[in-house]
Amino acid sequence: MPLRTLILIGLLAAASPAVAGDAKCIWNQLPLSDRKAYLDSSLDSDDAPDEAAFFNSDHLAKAVEACHVSEAAMGAAGGAFGGYSRQQVAERRLSVQAGVSAEQLDAAWATLDPGLIAQLGKAVKAGADDGSGLKVWESLVARLSPIATDQHALRLGLVSYMSSRATRQANENLY
């Protein structure tokens, strides 16, 4: 397990009863300045920034407590938060580099078969390639290509977006 994940799970372990799987709650409880710095740094590299470098443990513990995450749900909450924070990075990059807004991404995602999204979430968690990723990617490219300003950035950015979003959803369904 990556160090970043271990740190996040450890930080989340100090909390208490869950709001039904809402990584956005944790994200929104963090200081705006931390979230902004995290997202701003995402444009400097092709890799997602390290959450632990931007979100201080006290802030994260308070966010988890405010969202009523139970100790039993810490692993799932950590996975959901990691997926959600990387989804925010992907949305930011797709907006800046391909001209596709978060709202347009949400609208395209909403047209996907929920069973296919669940299958992708399981494949991402297992680190497996079952073909669902290609199906989701092709569907999103078909829906978003007509509005994207940069096709290359769109195609690359969607890989990160769909993996992050599927990870978030798969983990949110566990708590």
| Domain ranges (residues) in the chain | 3-172
Q: Report the alpha-carbon distance of residue 27 to residue 39 in Å, rounded.
A: 12
* pLDDT at residue 51, as a whole number: 76
Contacts (Cβ under 8 Å, ≥6 apart) of 43: 92, 93, 96
- Render 157-168 in DSSP notation, one character per residue: HHHHHHHHHHHH
Min mean pLDDT across 43-52, 72-81, 101-110, 113-122 is at: 43-52
Q: What is the pLDDT of residues 113-128, one digit of tens each?
A: 999 998 998 888 888 8
In the chain, % helix, strand, coil (3-state, to 5) comes to 75, 0, 25
Q: What is the pLDDT of residues 9-50, one digit of tens each?
A: 433 433 333 344 799 999 999 999 989 988 988 887 777 777
The reported pTM is: 0.81
Residue 107 clears pLDDT 70, i.e. is over it: yes
Mean pLDDT computed over 58-84: 92
* pLDDT at residue 174, as a whole number: 86
Min mean pLDDT across 17-21, 80-84, 85-89, 163-167 is at: 17-21
